[in-house]
Protein backbone atom coordinates (compact mmCIF):
# COMPACT_ATOMS: atom_id res chain seq x y z
CA UNK A 1 0.00 0.00 0.00
CA UNK A 2 1.56 3.27 -1.19
CA UNK A 3 -0.41 5.48 1.20
CA UNK A 4 -2.04 7.35 -1.69
CA UNK A 5 -5.80 6.91 -1.83
CA UNK A 6 -8.07 7.46 -4.80
CA UNK A 7 -11.82 7.46 -5.04
CA UNK A 8 -13.86 6.11 -6.62
CA UNK A 9 -12.22 2.83 -7.70
CA UNK A 10 -14.52 2.46 -10.67
CA UNK A 11 -16.71 4.90 -12.53
CA UNK A 12 -19.11 4.23 -15.37
CA UNK A 13 -20.71 7.18 -17.09
CA UNK A 14 -22.05 8.34 -20.42
CA UNK A 15 -20.62 10.52 -23.15
CA UNK A 16 -21.04 14.23 -22.52
CA UNK A 17 -21.07 13.84 -18.75
CA UNK A 18 -18.72 15.30 -16.17
CA UNK A 19 -16.95 13.39 -13.41
CA UNK A 20 -14.63 14.23 -10.52
CA UNK A 21 -11.83 11.97 -9.39
CA UNK A 22 -10.36 12.47 -5.95
CA UNK A 23 -6.89 11.84 -4.59
CA UNK A 24 -5.46 12.02 -1.09
CA UNK A 25 -1.65 12.09 -1.06
CA UNK A 26 0.58 10.33 1.43
CA UNK A 27 0.81 12.09 4.75
CA UNK A 28 3.39 14.88 4.47
CA UNK A 29 3.60 14.87 0.67
CA UNK A 30 3.15 18.29 -0.91
CA UNK A 31 3.23 17.33 -4.58
CA UNK A 32 0.42 15.58 -6.44
CA UNK A 33 0.52 14.27 -9.99
CA UNK A 34 -2.22 12.97 -12.27
CA UNK A 35 -1.66 10.37 -14.98
CA UNK A 36 -3.85 8.68 -17.57
CA UNK A 37 -3.15 5.09 -18.62
CA UNK A 38 -4.79 3.65 -21.71
CA UNK A 39 -3.97 0.67 -23.90
CA UNK A 40 -3.07 2.74 -26.92
CA UNK A 41 -1.27 5.68 -25.25
CA UNK A 42 0.33 4.01 -22.25
CA UNK A 43 0.91 5.96 -19.06
CA UNK A 44 0.84 9.70 -19.71
CA UNK A 45 1.48 12.59 -17.37
CA UNK A 46 -1.39 15.05 -17.16
CA UNK A 47 -0.60 17.66 -14.53
CA UNK A 48 1.29 18.31 -11.30
CA UNK A 49 0.47 20.46 -8.29
CA UNK A 50 2.84 21.44 -5.56
CA UNK A 51 1.48 22.86 -2.34
CA UNK A 52 -1.65 24.14 -4.06
CA UNK A 53 0.01 25.62 -7.12
CA UNK A 54 0.17 24.17 -10.61
CA UNK A 55 3.79 23.10 -11.20
CA UNK A 56 3.92 21.26 -14.53
CA UNK A 57 1.52 20.41 -17.29
CA UNK A 58 1.56 17.49 -19.67
CA UNK A 59 -0.88 16.26 -22.26
CA UNK A 60 -3.97 17.41 -20.43
CA UNK A 61 -6.98 18.19 -22.57
CA UNK A 62 -8.78 21.50 -22.18
CA UNK A 63 -11.87 19.54 -21.09
CA UNK A 64 -9.90 18.33 -18.08
CA UNK A 65 -8.95 20.43 -15.09
CA UNK A 66 -7.46 19.80 -11.69
CA UNK A 67 -6.83 21.54 -8.43
CA UNK A 68 -5.10 20.94 -5.14
CA UNK A 69 -6.84 22.10 -2.01
CA UNK A 70 -5.36 23.59 1.20
CA UNK A 71 -5.53 20.17 2.88
CA UNK A 72 -3.41 18.92 -0.10
CA UNK A 73 -5.97 16.55 -1.53
CA UNK A 74 -6.52 16.94 -5.24
CA UNK A 75 -9.38 16.54 -7.66
CA UNK A 76 -9.30 15.88 -11.38
CA UNK A 77 -12.39 17.06 -13.24
CA UNK A 78 -13.21 15.53 -16.60
CA UNK A 79 -16.00 17.12 -18.60
CA UNK A 80 -17.78 16.59 -21.92
CA UNK A 81 -16.59 13.02 -21.70
CA UNK A 82 -15.87 11.06 -24.86
CA UNK A 83 -15.49 7.33 -25.43
CA UNK A 84 -11.75 7.82 -25.78
CA UNK A 85 -11.50 9.15 -22.24
CA UNK A 86 -12.07 5.63 -20.93
CA UNK A 87 -8.84 4.81 -19.11
CA UNK A 88 -7.20 4.26 -15.77
CA UNK A 89 -6.46 7.52 -13.99
CA UNK A 90 -3.66 7.46 -11.45
CA UNK A 91 -2.73 9.96 -8.85
CA UNK A 92 0.79 9.99 -7.42
CA UNK A 93 2.36 12.03 -4.65
CA UNK A 94 5.86 12.97 -3.55
CA UNK A 95 7.37 14.90 -0.70
CA UNK A 96 8.59 17.75 -2.90
CA UNK A 97 8.72 18.48 -6.61
CA UNK A 98 12.17 17.66 -7.92
CA UNK A 99 13.55 14.83 -10.04
CA UNK A 100 14.97 13.08 -7.01
CA UNK A 101 11.56 12.70 -5.40
CA UNK A 102 10.05 9.25 -5.60
CA UNK A 103 6.48 9.37 -6.81
CA UNK A 104 4.13 7.01 -5.00
CA UNK A 105 1.16 5.93 -7.06
CA UNK A 106 -2.34 5.29 -5.87
CA UNK A 107 -4.43 2.29 -6.97
CA UNK A 108 -6.14 4.26 -9.73
CA UNK A 109 -9.69 5.06 -10.81
CA UNK A 110 -10.99 3.02 -13.71
CA UNK A 111 -13.24 5.19 -15.87
CA UNK A 112 -15.53 3.72 -18.47
CA UNK A 113 -17.39 6.10 -20.75
CA UNK A 114 -20.31 4.49 -22.61
CA UNK B 1 9.70 9.95 -32.89
CA UNK B 2 8.57 9.05 -29.40
CA UNK B 3 10.78 10.27 -26.56
CA UNK B 4 10.93 6.81 -25.00
CA UNK B 5 10.40 3.52 -26.81
CA UNK B 6 10.15 0.19 -25.09
CA UNK B 7 10.17 -3.38 -26.36
CA UNK B 8 6.49 -4.29 -25.96
CA UNK B 9 6.85 -7.96 -25.17
CA UNK B 10 5.10 -9.87 -23.79
CA UNK B 11 7.96 -11.86 -22.38
CA UNK B 12 7.57 -15.32 -20.86
CA UNK B 13 10.52 -16.95 -19.08
CA UNK B 14 11.02 -19.93 -16.77
CA UNK B 15 11.70 -19.36 -13.10
CA UNK B 16 15.39 -18.70 -12.47
CA UNK B 17 16.06 -17.13 -15.87
CA UNK B 18 17.85 -13.85 -16.40
CA UNK B 19 15.50 -11.27 -17.83
CA UNK B 20 16.57 -8.29 -19.91
CA UNK B 21 14.15 -5.42 -20.43
CA UNK B 22 15.09 -2.57 -22.73
CA UNK B 23 14.20 0.96 -23.76
CA UNK B 24 15.63 3.56 -26.08
CA UNK B 25 15.24 7.29 -25.77
CA UNK B 26 15.56 10.13 -28.21
CA UNK B 27 17.07 13.10 -26.39
CA UNK B 28 20.71 12.87 -25.37
CA UNK B 29 20.10 15.57 -22.74
CA UNK B 30 18.03 13.20 -20.60
CA UNK B 31 19.82 12.45 -17.35
CA UNK B 32 17.37 10.75 -14.99
CA UNK B 33 16.15 7.27 -15.70
CA UNK B 34 13.75 5.09 -13.78
CA UNK B 35 12.20 1.67 -13.88
CA UNK B 36 8.73 1.11 -12.48
CA UNK B 37 6.95 -2.16 -11.86
CA UNK B 38 3.19 -2.41 -12.17
CA UNK B 39 1.28 -5.44 -10.97
CA UNK B 40 -2.10 -6.15 -12.51
CA UNK B 41 -4.80 -3.75 -11.26
CA UNK B 42 -2.29 -1.75 -9.20
CA UNK B 43 -0.45 1.54 -9.56
CA UNK B 44 3.18 1.59 -10.70
CA UNK B 45 5.90 1.46 -8.05
CA UNK B 46 9.46 2.70 -8.40
CA UNK B 47 12.02 -0.10 -8.70
CA UNK B 48 15.23 1.62 -9.62
CA UNK B 49 16.48 5.11 -10.31
CA UNK B 50 19.70 5.97 -12.17
CA UNK B 51 21.36 9.28 -12.84
CA UNK B 52 23.41 9.66 -16.03
CA UNK B 53 25.40 6.66 -17.22
CA UNK B 54 26.48 3.43 -15.65
CA UNK B 55 25.01 0.61 -13.64
CA UNK B 56 23.06 0.45 -10.43
CA UNK B 57 22.37 -2.76 -8.59
CA UNK B 58 19.72 -3.57 -6.01
CA UNK B 59 19.48 -7.20 -5.04
CA UNK B 60 18.47 -9.21 -8.09
CA UNK B 61 17.87 -6.07 -10.15
CA UNK B 62 20.44 -4.13 -12.18
CA UNK B 63 19.66 -0.95 -14.09
CA UNK B 64 22.03 0.07 -16.84
CA UNK B 65 22.23 3.29 -18.85
CA UNK B 66 24.28 3.61 -22.03
CA UNK B 67 24.17 7.27 -22.96
CA UNK B 68 26.25 6.80 -26.10
CA UNK B 69 23.56 4.62 -27.63
CA UNK B 70 20.64 6.15 -25.68
CA UNK B 71 19.73 2.76 -24.33
CA UNK B 72 18.46 1.80 -20.88
CA UNK B 73 18.12 -1.72 -19.56
CA UNK B 74 16.82 -3.55 -16.54
CA UNK B 75 18.22 -6.99 -15.76
CA UNK B 76 16.50 -9.36 -13.36
CA UNK B 77 18.59 -12.26 -12.10
CA UNK B 78 17.10 -15.50 -10.77
CA UNK B 79 13.63 -14.38 -11.83
CA UNK B 80 10.72 -15.45 -9.63
CA UNK B 81 7.00 -15.88 -10.35
CA UNK B 82 6.46 -12.86 -8.08
CA UNK B 83 8.37 -10.77 -10.66
CA UNK B 84 5.49 -11.27 -13.11
CA UNK B 85 4.29 -7.76 -13.83
CA UNK B 86 4.50 -4.96 -16.37
CA UNK B 87 7.81 -3.10 -16.29
CA UNK B 88 7.86 0.52 -17.39
CA UNK B 89 10.96 2.53 -18.14
CA UNK B 90 10.68 6.25 -17.51
CA UNK B 91 12.67 9.39 -18.03
CA UNK B 92 12.38 12.45 -15.88
CA UNK B 93 12.65 15.87 -17.44
CA UNK B 94 10.32 18.23 -15.65
CA UNK B 95 7.82 15.36 -15.78
CA UNK B 96 7.94 11.60 -16.02
CA UNK B 97 7.79 10.22 -19.56
CA UNK B 98 7.00 6.52 -19.59
CA UNK B 99 7.63 3.79 -22.09
CA UNK B 100 4.64 1.67 -23.06
CA UNK B 101 5.65 -1.15 -20.73
CA UNK B 102 6.76 -4.76 -21.15
CA UNK B 103 4.56 -7.49 -19.70
CA UNK B 104 6.71 -10.16 -18.06
CA UNK B 105 5.48 -13.60 -17.03
CA UNK B 106 7.80 -15.85 -15.02
CA UNK B 107 6.61 -19.43 -15.20
CA UNK B 108 7.16 -21.66 -12.14
Mean pLDDT of A102-113: 96
Distance CA A97, CA A56 (A): 10
Distance to chain B for A107, nearest Cα, Å: 5
Torsion of CA A56, A21, A51, B43, to 10 degrees: -70
Q: Is the pLDDT of residue B54 over 90?
A: no
CB B95 to CB A99 under 8 A? no
The model's confidence at residue A54, banded by pLDDT at 50, 70 and 90, is very high
Q: Within 10 Å of residue B81's Cβ, how many Cβ atoms?
A: 10
Res A96: pLDDT: 83
Q: Is the pLDDT of residue A99 over 70?
A: no
What are the residues facing A76 on neighbouring strands?
A: A21, A66
CB A107 to CB B42 under 8 A? yes
Nearest CA in chain A to B34: A102
DSSP A46-109: EEEEETTEEEEE-S--TTEEEEE-TTS-EEEEE-S--GGG-EEEEEEEESSSSTTSPPEE---E
Res B52: pLDDT: 82
Interface of A with B (CB under 8 A): 2, 4, 33, 42-45, 48, 56, 58, 90, 92, 99, 102-108
CB B95 to CB A56 under 8 A? yes
Burial of B2-37, coded b for 16+ CB within 10 Å and e otherwise, reads eebbbbeeebebeeebebebbbbbeeeebbbbbbbb
Q: Is the pLDDT of residue B1 over 80?
A: no
Amino acid sequence: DSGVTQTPKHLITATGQRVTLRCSPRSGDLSVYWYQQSLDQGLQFLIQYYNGEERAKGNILERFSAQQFPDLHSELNLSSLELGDSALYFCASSLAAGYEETQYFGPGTRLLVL
Amino acid sequence: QKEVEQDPGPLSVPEGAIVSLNCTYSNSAFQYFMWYRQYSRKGPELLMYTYSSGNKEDGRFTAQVDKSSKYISLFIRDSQPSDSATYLCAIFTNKLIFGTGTLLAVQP
